[in-house]
Chains A and B, each alone.
Chain A
Amino acid sequence: MSTLHTVNKSPFAQQTLTSCINICRAGDALLLIEDGVYGALPSAPTAQALKALVNDRKVHLFALEPDLQARGLNDRISDWVKVVDYSGFVQLSTEHKTVQSWY
């Protein structure tokens, strides 16, 4: 009964990603999309919480490649973030029972 969470707001501007991090459970996936991809930066205020989410709480963390590219962030993201394209987004949505959008 795992969940795919998508977050489309920057953690530099809003608390959306923090709210999502607090709710995620082991086995869930978190996909950063649109301005949410700023959360993949090592300088993001949520960086340590996301690292702990991946390493300690066993949540899979992804960022959407076209949205990284549109913002020039491809080469600047933390190494614990995996990159997926839209096919990966679709794949994740089929692998998890529900999709929860945070916006």
Chain B
Amino acid sequence: MEISLTVNGILKTVDIADENTPLLWVVRDTLDLKGTKFGCGKAACGACTLLVDDEAVRSCSYPVKFAEGKKVTTIEGLGDRENPHPVQQAWIEEIVPQCGYCQPGFMMATAALLNKVPKPTDEDIDKNIINVCRCGTYYRMRKAIHKAAELQAEKVINESKEV
């Protein structure tokens, strides 16, 4: 069956034999976007987190059929080298990753958090950022999340000045 979805701003139509195929595998194997990672396959670790209509979703447990007509954002679509997303910039500045495998999932979850809570408290972070990092980079991630909130606020102010 054919499923149409907008991935990182580009309309894609994929031909899928099983509509229950996890969105993760469509993104990685069919669309060749390898930034989204497979971790546990049980929606527990969060390595596969991406955004569907701006909401954080564990893509290993999200059948692609539910993405029909929706907007999917992966780590590749969050920003780029020239214009990194505040979360990506903060991750670079705080030198967060160790092995890096889980980081895209954390960054997507953080992007979703900042969309909802622009200036999150430590409690907000504890409640919403529940992914798993086996390198234990949680301390640096917390700093980066606060940093990303600052960068995003600055970005909003600068954009409003330009308008």
- Answer yes or no: do A and B interact: no
Q: B-contacting residues of A (Cβ < 8 Å)? A: none
Q: A-contacting residues of B (Cβ < 8 Å)? A: none
